[in-house]
Structure 1
Amino acid sequence: MGKRYYCDYCDRSLPYSVEARKKHDYGHHHQKLKKHHFDQFKSAREQLQDELSREKCRRFHSGQDCSFGDTCIYSHLTDIDISNLKQQAREEELQLKKLRLPTLVKNGKEPSLESWLSRKEQKVQSTSDYPVEDSTDWELKYTIPPNVVVSCLPPSLIPPSAESLLQYEFVDWG
């Protein structure tokens, strides 16, 4: 048995050859199912733009049955459906805007400037307990820029002193 190509959209398999696959891919049934599949993932805004760009189907809106169904190039949505789609598009835009906001603002707990400044001041006062060592430049391998205060740095970024390096026992690996 030869190789077979399986089409997920049409749920069928066919012989694996360029001609058969090309013939299948350009077929009406495959095109219709593929379009239906991708239309499921359109946002309300995209659907609204598509529907507003089309004219209304005269046959469908006059009460008759449109024989083209989903493949009709004209719009089958009523005014109520279009207004519902507009509302969904607005809601999606609001959700996207809300997702772009910082977490505290999303939850309605936006901090005030005064509370943020007071917390920052408390942190600076609590970190001032770290000893600032007086050492000359030749003892340090790395120097901190003069505009950075050592007391504001986290413990992992405070440079080690020469004495602490001399007291440390290095372990040999391997």
Structure 2
Amino acid sequence: MGKRYYCDYCKKSFADNPVSRKTHLNGVVHGQNKRSHYNALRDEEETLKDESSKRPCRSFLSAGDCKFGERCQYSHLTNEDKARLTEIVNKKKKLAEMKLQEGSREEDNSVLQSLNAWQSEKTAFQRESENGSIVRKASAIIFPDYRLASCFNTIVNPPPSLLPPTKEELRAAEYAEWG
């Protein structure tokens, strides 16, 4: 038996060959199922925008049912549904604006704090340079502290190429002059 293609939208499987797959993907039922799947994932703002541009469906409003269902070109939202969606959209917009304002305040505070920290470091550096202690610090070699990445901690015996160099190895290393 050959490979089978399973369509998640239609919950149906069939022989996986180019002709039957193309026929299925271009089919009306598949298109309806795909459209209804993505319509269920739309947010309120998109739904309100689409439904506001449509005229109300007469058969749905009078009988409460429409023979076209989701394929109907008219809106099946009542005025109460539209009002509810409008309220939800407005609340979401207000929350987004409030978060944006709070975020900008926090950003301003963090920028001020980082500027103050930078300024204090700069003044400390200037004081030390006036005292001559910077020269003594520059003569000492500072080696970086290499650590094994956390994703490699589970390896029992990692190869030497993954192991970080020790400070002794860095001190003993000879560097060639380039140029």
TM-score, normalization: structure 1? 0.64
Unaligned runs of 5+ in 1: 136-159
Q: What is the DSSP-based 3-state SS (H/G/I as helix, E as strand, rest coil) of the residue aligned with 1:132?
A: helix
Matching residue's letter, 2:21: R
Look up the match of 2:32: 32
User: Which residue is 1:74 aligned to?
Assistant: 74
Cα offset for 1:78?
0.7
2:62, 2:141 → 1: CA distance? 89
**Richer in helix (by share):** 2
C-alpha displacement of 1:16:
1.1
Question: In the superposition, relative to structure 1, how do residues 66 and 125 fare at CA in structure 2: closer, same or farther (>3 Å)?
Answer: closer
CA distance in 2, matches of 1:18, 1:86: 45
2:129 partner SS: coil
Paired with 1:13 and 1:161, the residues of 2 have a C-alpha distance of: 74
Give the equivalent residue in structure 1 for 2:84.
84
C-alpha distance in structure 1 between counterparts of 2:27 and 2:84, whole Å:
34
Identify the residue that residue 143 of structure 1 maps to in structure 2: none
Mapped partners of 1:80, 1:41: distance in 2: 21
CA 1:29–1:172 in 2, change beyond 3 Å: closer, same or farther?
Answer: same
Aligned residues: 141
Q: Unpaired runs of 5+ in structure 2? A: 143-169, 175-179
**SS of corresponding position for 1:97:** helix
- What is the percentage of aligned positions where both structures have the same residue? 28
After the TM superposition, list the runs of 4 or more consecutive aligned residues in structure 1 that deviate by more than 4 angstroms.
Answer: 122-127
CA contact (8 A) 1:44 1:92 kept: no
Q: TM-score, normalised by structure 2?
A: 0.63
Q: Distance in 2 between matches of 1:83 and 1:128?
A: 60
C-alpha separation between the residues in 2 aligned to 1:93 and 1:31? Answer: 32
Say if 1:13 and 1:99 are closer, same or farther in 2 by CA, change over 3 A.
farther
* Alignment match, 1:149: none
Q: Report the Cα distance in structure 2 between the residues aligned to 1:81 and 1:56, rounded to whole angstroms.
A: 12
Alignment RMSD (CA, Å): 3.4
**C-alpha distance 132-171 of structure 1, shift in aligned 2 (>3 A):** same
Structure-to-structure mapping, 1:7-156, within 5 angstroms: 7-63=7-63, 65-103=65-103, 105=105, 120=116, 124=119, 128-130=123-125, 131-133=128-130
Cα distance in 2 for residues equivalent to 1:102 and 1:22: 51
Shift of 1:84: 0.6
Q: What is the rounded CA distance, in whole Å, between the counterparts of 1:14 and 1:69 in structure 2?
A: 27
> Per-residue deviation at 1:168?
3.6
Which stretch shows the higher mean deviation, 95-104 or 80-89?
95-104
